[in-house]
Chain A
Amino acid sequence: MATYHLSAVGVEKAYRKGKNRVPVLHGVDLQAAPGELVAIIGASGSGKSTLLHVMGLLDAPDAGAVMLNDRRIDHLSDRQRDEIRNKTFGFIFQFYHLLPELNTLENVMMPHMIRLGLWEFFKQRKAIRRKATELLERVGLSHRLHHLPTELSGGEMQRTAIARALAGDPEVLLADEPTGNLDASTGQEVLELLRDLNRESGLTMIMVTHDTQIAQQSDRVVRLAEGRIEEWAPALA
């Protein structure tokens, strides 16, 4: 039985700007237990998003490791990492990142479209469509199934993105400033939705935010400063 669901162990990451090497993460350790909602806060440029990207296998660490159920996953082949991203992780981004050519329903079906070949998808299309519709109903968008992203409000787009992140039955949800682009009340709605999902399905969630109000509603808050993690308590704020 794994103690931690997803963890970063001594992760280091630096970016190259011209000739200069800009270190972002200096040996970060972060663990998320199964079903835990961890919030990462930090000033802008502190490396929160980079950490999330490394843990989500969108980027590779310079040193250190990423473990999923105590198994190292950051050094796997491209094909295996693609598969883990598709099946194990669900991503939510600050700018929603929906595909503009596809309608809401098609965007939500995207993880399955990527997972399955033409024939397999065709065979399972009814089940996939039903599931996507249910998810959109769950996030309160049953009236927007066939709308293009450009026809949706910011809150609706983020809820679509959440439905998409859930569509592939992930174990871990990685959210990068999910409320960052929304007004306070819509942001609160989105957060409550995430919180509910976390409670209902026991999804492990790692959420990056710079908003302490939002962060406080999670199980645990860590602060990233100068490329290192420190535990955070509201009293210290």
Chain B
Amino acid sequence: MYKYLLCWRYLRTRYIALASVISVMLGVATMIVVNAVMAGFAEKMRDRLHGVLADIVVESEYDMNGFYNSDEVMARIKEVAGDDVKAMAPALETYGLLQYYSGGQRFTRQVQLIGVDPKQRALTGDFSEFLVDDQANSIPPSFDVPDSLRAAASPAAQLIEGDPNDPLNQALAEQAQLQVPDDGALIGWGLATFHYNDKDEFIIKRGDKIRIVYPKASQSPEPGADDFTVVGYFKSGMSENDSTHVYVPIKRFQFVRQMLDEEGRGAVNQIQLKVAEGVNLDVLKAKIQPALEALRPMYFRVATWEEKQGPLLSAVAVEQSILNILLFFIIAVAGFGILAIFSMIVVEKTRDIGIMKALGASTSGVRGIFLGYGLLLGAVGSGVGMAGGLLFVCYINDIEDWLSDISGRRVFDHSIYYFNEIPTLVEPWTVFWIVAGALFIATAASVWPAQRASKLHPVRALRFE
């Protein structure tokens, strides 16, 4: 009984020991905040990566020219997967170049060209949610060039008035056709803008004509080129995608790359699969792979979105665990603070320990006082730290605003990450392990002083000056 009373009294009367747990508190709070923000970022990033890709991707792994029998492949997938697969969208993806004029100068960028059917593609992932106009407002998934855009972008089109069948109007329309190609393209937000003064300035506007250069289908590829009108932007928030992706209509892309066979079937080199909720992707993948193997051996590669983005996701995981290890050292350092202060307290309490032993307190009882005291200090430190950390996470955006106001500089630049606010995600188990770790360290740090206290000889302790 005396153990609990004395632990409690020591806690309430020894402020120096409370000071020693401030570092535990700060360590716990920091770990909770950092983990919440990192988990928030990782979650957002996973969402976006997942959104750009579908759940499962079937590719012709080594053959950029792809396969013509996409209908057959999709039928086969449907056959083995049944209702597990909710939607499928073929795509033709290749590397290429993007050329555009800006300020009278020609620019060339290396890009990833993806021929898609926008309506189908919208069903397999978050494609349509990433499509925006220049005001960052959502636009429908379509490559159609709206008349308004055509009129605004073409001087010839602006002159058309009256009867469209009028020869003059027809000539002007023809001219407009050249200035504004019929086929639209959706290009990455990062390709179309540059970041200046905390703002995104456009270098490629909607309605601008761009030229893309691509390899034509053949065993030794030759370059081909075609013009498209920019109808919108692709803004997923993943800068790697936003600064390389160019989406064009798949039919047109197959045509200009000479990828139509005699039956008029176009080649694709990728099929994206949207899977029903709750279906285990790895299990489904293991079902699809052998089915396609039978169709054409050693050709198809079936991968879940996580496998496709494996290196990036594991890089984030590694980052997070390294950060956790480093931050845990803060708490470990705090443990040594507790050790030092506890050793002092044991010296200070030497005579009291002698008294308790004279009154019949056992060795383990005296040890219990100091171990309990350490645990209690750890509980106070990690409890306050946990509350502080969670409050900080809860109000992180207000705190960020406040810090930005004070420093006159944005702490968290929204436009860099395309986040309106700092994403956070509190994982209860993470919080639990952080608190448990801090408690363990506080208790472990008090083991040695407690052991020393319990081993004190009662007479020597009583005579201690």
Q: 0/1 per residue, A103-141, Cβ < 8 Å to B?
A: 000100011111111101110000000000000000000
Would you call the interface of chain B mostly helix, strand, loop, or mixed?
helix
Q: Is the CB of B358 within 8 A of A113?
A: no
A116 to chain B, nearest CB (A): 6
Of listed B13, B359, B365, residue having the most chain A CB within 10 A? B359
**How many Å from the CB of B284 to the closest CB on chain A?**
57
Contact B458 A58 (CB under 8 A): yes
CB distance from B347 to the nearest CB of A (A): 15
| CB pair B4 A118 closer than 8 Å | yes
With an 8 A cutoff between CB atoms, is A100 at the interface?
Answer: yes
A-binding segment of B258-266, B348-356, B437-445: B348-356
Asked if A99 and B361 sit within 8 Å, CB to CB, the answer is no
Complex Cα gap A58–B462 (Å): 10
Task: Check B357 for interface membership: any CB of A closer than 8 A.
Answer: yes
Question: A102 contacts B5, CB within 8 Å?
Answer: yes
When A111-B359, A114-B361, A114-B365 are in contact, do A100 and B352 touch as well, CB less than 8 Å? yes
- Interface mask (A169-181 → B, CB under 8 Å = 1, otherwise 0): 0000000000000
The answer on a CB contact under 8 Å between B359 and A114 is yes
B1-25 residues at the A interface, CB under 8 angstroms? 1-2, 4-6, 9-10, 13
Q: Is the interface of A mostly helix, strand, loop or mixed?
A: helix
CA distance A112 to B363 in the complex (A): 17
Question: Knowing A83-B360, A85-B359, A91-B358 touch, does A113 contact B352 (C-beta < 8 A)?
Answer: no
Contact between B357 and A58 (Cβ–Cβ < 8 Å)?
yes
- Whether the pair B360, A111 counts as a contact (CB closer than 8 A) is yes
Nearest-neighbour CB distance to chain B for A47, whole angstroms, equals: 12
Given that A87-B360, A116-B1 are known contacts, is A102 also in contact with B9, CB under 8 Å in the complex? yes
Known: A78-B363, A85-B360. A97 touches B10 (CB 8 A): no
- In the bound assembly, the distance between CA atoms of A114 and B462 in angstroms comes to 18
Assembly CA distance A93 to B356 (angstroms): 13
Q: Is B314 an interface residue (CB 8 A)?
A: no
List of A residues within 8 angstroms of B457 by Cβ: 59
Q: Is A231 an interface residue (CB 8 A)?
A: no
Instruction: Give a binary string over B361-394; 1 marks a CB under 8 Å from any A CB, 0 the rest.
Output: 1110100000000000000000000000000000
* Known contacts A59-B459, A114-B365, A117-B1; A101 and B360 CB within 8 A of each other: no
Given contacts A59-B459, A97-B462, A121-B1, contact A114 B9 (CB under 8 A): no
Interface residue from B354, B356, B358 paired with A56 (Cβ < 8 Å): B358
Say yes or no: A114 contacts B459, CB within 8 Å.
no
Partner of B361, one of A53, A58, A82, A93: A82
Q: How far is the CA of A205 from the CA of B79 in the complex (A)?
A: 98
CB–CB A53/B10 < 8 A: no
Contact A53–B352 (Cβ < 8 Å): no
Can you list 19 A-B contacts with CB-CB less than 8 angstroms, sorted by A residue number? Answer: A58-B357, A82-B361, A85-B359, A85-B360, A87-B360, A91-B358, A97-B351, A97-B358, A99-B355, A112-B1, A113-B1, A114-B1, A114-B361, A115-B360, A118-B1, A118-B4, A164-B359, A168-B359, A168-B360
Binding site for A on B (CB under 8 A): 1-2, 4-6, 9-10, 13, 351-352, 354-363, 365, 457-459, 462
13 additional contacts (CB under 8 A) given A85-B358, A93-B462: A58-B458, A58-B459, A58-B462, A82-B362, A86-B359, A97-B351, A97-B358, A97-B462, A111-B359, A112-B1, A113-B1, A118-B4, A120-B1
> Which residues on A are within 8 Å of B, measured CB to CB?
53, 56, 58-59, 78-79, 82-87, 91, 93, 97-102, 106, 110-118, 120-122, 164, 168
- Closest 4 A/B residue pairs (Cβ): A86-B360, A113-B2, A101-B9, A121-B1
